[in-house]
């Protein structure tokens, strides 16, 4: 994993992590709207709660760079489920295109693994970072 | 990138290409309506037409694997514009979608993919040889002319 690719995946991690974190927090801040969204897809609010917990924890972990590979794999499965459930009910554009791109980001992060640059590495693993760079 | 990551890059490229092409084609099929809507938002029709052109051809190029880096560069320029345009709407249901597409396309500018890529050779070996000879001759001629001018 070269230096350039590592910086690129830091960018991807920041984008994906911030979106997951904001989406997860949004499910706590305005639950009515999100319950209505989930009810439109024939999903119960209990699924929404579980997804919100995962999104907040996993988004923060991906931004920090802790266990990116496994969180990304989990989110890839969640996003695949989102693509299927939204794809049954609505169309591609304005429907399941956003979960699909998030699925692509998750697959790429899963393949890139844990060894990219991250805030966690910057704070706690200085020696390793300098050896790599 | 190792061998397993190449497959992830291929999947990501197909998804990016499919999403961008679909959005471009959707704009193309309702062309006049889209022109009107975007003009009301303050985007001139020339920019809209260029945007649709880049979305359709860039997306198809990404899907086919022809000129991936150039296509990704042009798509990323559009997506920077789209992200800045949607910035006032906030992250959720606002600029999150252009931002993810921007991230993916910037990734494909800088990471070389090797799987499912067609390399197009614009010139054959013979043509390259001819071009080399011609430039050599032209350089000699220029040198000669400069010497004449100096004298």
Q: For position A100, what pLDDT does the model report?
A: 94
Q: For position A129, what pLDDT does the model report?
A: 52
Q: For position A121, what pLDDT does the model report?
A: 78
Higher pLDDT, residue A124 or A5: A5
Higher pLDDT, residue B110 or A122: B110
- DSSP string covering chain B: --HHHHHHHHHHHHHHHHHHHHHHHHHHHTHHHHHHHHHHTT--HHHHHHHHHHHHHHHHHHHHTSSHHHHHHHHHHHHHHHHHHTGGG-IIIIIHHHHHHHHHHHHHHHSPP-TT-PPPPSS-HHHHHHHHHHHHHHHHHHHHHHHHHH-
Q: Average pLDDT of chain A? A: 87
Q: What are the residues whose beta carbons fall under 8 Å from the beta carbon of A116, sequence distance 6 or more?
A: A1, A6, A9, A10, A13, A65, A68
Give the count of Cβ contacts less than 8 A between chain A and B.
80
Chain centre distance of CA A72: 6
Closest CA to B99 of A15, A130, A33: A15
Least reliable range by pLDDT among A36-45, A48-57, A113-122: A113-122
For the segment A110-129, the average pLDDT, to the nearest whole number, is 76
Q: For position A90, what pLDDT does the model report?
A: 85
Does residue A112 contact residue A104 with C-beta atoms inside 8 Å? no
The pair of three-digit structure tokens given for residue A11, joined into one six-digit string:
């960018």
A131: confidence class by pLDDT, cuts 50, 70, 90: low
For the segment A109-131, the average pLDDT, to the nearest whole number, is 74
For the segment A65-88, the average pLDDT, to the nearest whole number, is 92
Q: For position B25, what pLDDT does the model report?
A: 94
Q: Rounded to an integer, what distance in angstroms lies between the CA atom of residue A115 and that of residue A39?
A: 39
Q: What are the residues whose beta carbons fall under 8 Å from the beta carbon of B27, sequence distance 6 or more?
A: B34, B48, B51, B52, B55
Please report how the helices A3-29 and A31-40 are oriented relative to each other, as an axis angle in degrees rounded to 10. 100
Please determine, for residue A48, whether its predicted confidence score (pLDDT) is greater than 50. Answer: yes
pLDDT averaged per 10 residues, chain B (length 151): 81 94 93 91 90 94 90 95 89 88 94 80 80 91 90 78
Q: Quick check: helix, strand or coil at residue A101?
A: helix
**B-contacting residues in A 102-131 (Cβ below 8 Å):** 102-105, 107-108, 110-112
The pair of three-digit structure tokens given for residue A40, joined into one six-digit string:
């439109």
Q: For position A133, what pLDDT does the model report?
A: 43
- State whether ipTM is beyond 0.85: yes
Tell whether B62 is within 8 A of chain A (Cβ). Answer: no
A102: confidence class by pLDDT, cuts 50, 70, 90: very high
Q: What are the residues whose beta carbons fall under 8 Å from the beta carbon of B10, sequence distance 6 or more?
A: B113, B115, B116
Q: Per residue in A53-69, pLDDT tens?
A: 999 999 999 999 888 99
Say whether pTM exceeds 0.80. yes
**B-contacting residues in A 3-32 (Cβ below 8 Å):** 4-5, 8, 11-12, 15-16, 18-19, 22-23, 26
Would the CB atoms of A101 and B26 count as touching at under 8 Å?
A: no
Contacts of B8 in chain A (CB under 8 A): 107-108, 110-112
For the segment A98-110, the average pLDDT, to the nearest whole number, is 93
Chain centre distance of CA B35: 22
Higher pLDDT, residue A80 or A94: A80
């Amino acid at each position: 994993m070269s230096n350039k690719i590592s910086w690129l995946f830091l960018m991807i991690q920041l984008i994906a992590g911030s979106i997951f974190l904001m989406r997860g927090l949004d499910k706590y801040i305005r639950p009515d709207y999100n319950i209505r969204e989930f009810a439109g897809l024939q999903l119960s609010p209990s699924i929404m709660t579980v997804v919100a917990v995962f999104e907040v924890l996993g988004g923060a972990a991906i931004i920090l760079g802790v266990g990116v590979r496994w969180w990304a794999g989990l989110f890839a499965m969640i996003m695949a489920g989102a693509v299927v459930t939204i794809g049954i009910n609505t169309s591609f554009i304005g429907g399941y295109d956003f979960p699909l791109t998030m699925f692509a980001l998750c697959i790429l992060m899963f393949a890139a693994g844990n060894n990219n640059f991250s805030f966690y590495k910057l704070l706690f693993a200085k020696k390793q970072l300098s050896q790599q760079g | 990138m190792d061998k397993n990551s190449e497959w992830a890059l291929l999947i990501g490229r197909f998804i990016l290409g499919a999403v961008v092409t679909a959005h471009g084609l959707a704009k193309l099929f309702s062309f006049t309506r889209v022109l009107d809507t975007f003009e009301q938002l303050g985007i001139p029709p020339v920019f809209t037409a260029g945007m649709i052109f880049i979305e359709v051809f860039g997306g198809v190029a990404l899907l086919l694997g022809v000129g991936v880096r150039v296509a990704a560069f042009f798509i990323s320029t559009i997506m920077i514009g789209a992200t800045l345009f949607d910035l006032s709407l906030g992250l959720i249901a606002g600029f999150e979608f252009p931002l993810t597409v921007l991230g993916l396309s910037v990734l494909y500018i800088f990471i070389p993919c090797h799987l499912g890529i067609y390399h197009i050779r614009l010139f054959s070996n013979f043509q390259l040889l001819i071009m080399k000879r011609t430039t050599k001759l032209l350089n000699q001629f220029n040198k000669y002319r400069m010497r004449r001018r100096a004298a």
